[in-house]
Amino acid sequence: MKLRLYFRPGPVVLLLAIAAALLWWLVHAVSLWFLPIALAYSALLAISAWAWWRSHVLERELIWRAPRRLLILAPHEDDCVIAAGGVGALNRRLGGDVRVVYLAPDETPGMAQTRAEEARAAWREAGVDASELHHFDLLPSLLQRDPKRLHAAARELRRIIDDFKPTTVVVPMFEGGHVHHDMVAATLDYVISDADTFEVFEAPEYGPCVSLNYTPHRVIALCARWLLGLVSYCGPADGVDDRPILRVRLEPADLDCKKRMLAAFRSQNAPSLVATRAYPDRLVRWQRREDRRHPFGAQNSYLRLARTVDRILPRRLAARLLPGQRGTIGRPGKLTDWREEWGA
């Protein structure tokens, strides 16, 4: 029976400490043959403890006190709830306005309508009327590059912003997890002008970045895999750089609402979404980047090491030794290159 831990890294660090202590006892009481294993688990303990400390350094609390005009931009229906379902429920409870704009319908025949209906059911839980959910087909198809279509999407995004006049905008993070997520975040760079006064937040969700400094929960999850396969850890979303992760303070009712919203997405494995994504929303303040190209530097990264091992060992063995996403969804074997997407 595997012990599954969600969003609480402390028990993982404690279990690794117990494992390391037991191995050192075996070195002392039984045989020096246990020394290499004891050293390895001591290293895992040190890495996980460092990552736990980094999570406290990076994470801050965001208190959402007043109602706002909240605009949530998302490529797909479940993404907006993962990123800002709790914020949307909280803002609506405070009397604020919430508008959700979807930019990329599901390309599977029949699924676009199904997912749109699921989105309406989800946001109904938060008190957001279906008239505030807008579905567009603005982004290129998943496996295509189409700069002209992105330029047209940027113009439409500007129109959407001018029409709603938001005070706060939430978009997916430019993190290399899914090319459509990256497109929404990066296109916004061309939309926002110096005259705009609204706040913009990026919401991390998932991606291939693994960093001792910037992805503490992902690092702890990798360390937990060495607890003889008896423990798995699923942490909240990490960022990709040194910007603080802002944890929105949610009332229990708001978090319960987010869980019910996630449960509406039956076509997307709702039980898994509820188990792995029902954490308080995590936001990062947007920063304009004139040189935006790749989500993070992959040259000396875990990602590059994993890809190298993939070429040397059988794929299943490589994935077991170095698990994790190998690139951007929609760009097989690659990271998002914004110069190629936008058209340098």
139 and 75, same structural domain?
A: yes
How far apart are the C-alpha atoms of 327 and 336, rounded to whole Å?
8
How far apart are the C-alpha atoms of 14 and 39, rounded to whole Å?
17
The answer to whether residue 337 is domain-embedded is no
Higher pLDDT, 290 or 79: 79
122 and 198, same structural domain?
A: yes
Q: Cα angle vertex 217, ends 265, 298, to 5°?
A: 95
- Indicate the angle between helix axes 111-125 and 77-93, nearest 10 degrees: 20
In this structure, are residues 294 and 186 in contact, taking their beta carbons and an 8 Å threshold? no
pLDDT digits (tens, 9 = 90+) for 79-90: 999 999 999 999
Confidence of residue 297 (pLDDT cuts 50, 70, 90): confident
The answer to whether residue 315 is domain-embedded is no
The answer to whether residue 325 is domain-embedded is no
Name the pTM for this structure.
Answer: 0.94
248 and 270, same structural domain?
A: yes
The answer to whether residue 69 is domain-embedded is yes
Mean pLDDT of 33-39: 96
The answer to whether residue 298 is domain-embedded is no
Query: 105: domain CATH number?
Result: 3.40.50.10320
The answer to whether residue 259 is domain-embedded is yes
- The tally of CA atoms less than 13 A away on the side-chain side of residue 76 is 21
16 and 144, same structural domain?
A: no
pLDDT digits (tens, 9 = 90+) for 102-160: 999 999 988 999 999 999 999 999 999 999 999 999 999 999 999 999 999 999 999 99
The answer to whether residue 158 is domain-embedded is yes
Higher pLDDT, 98 or 194: 98
Check residue 299 and give its pLDDT.
Answer: 78
The answer to whether residue 133 is domain-embedded is yes
pLDDT of 289 over the 90 cut: no
Collapsed DSSP state (helix, strand, coil) of residue 251: coil
How far apart are the C-alpha atoms of 149 and 139, rounded to whole Å?
7
Confidence of residue 300 (pLDDT cuts 50, 70, 90): confident
| Phi, psi torsion values for 329, nearest 5 degrees | -60, 130
Domain boundaries, position 282 = 63-204+239-288
**Which amino acid belongs to residue 272?**
S
Query: C-alpha distances in angstroms, 109 versus 39, 131, 174?
Result: 53, 24, 28
Looking at the structure of the chain, the number of domains it has is 2
16 and 125, same structural domain?
A: no
Confidence of residue 291 (pLDDT cuts 50, 70, 90): confident
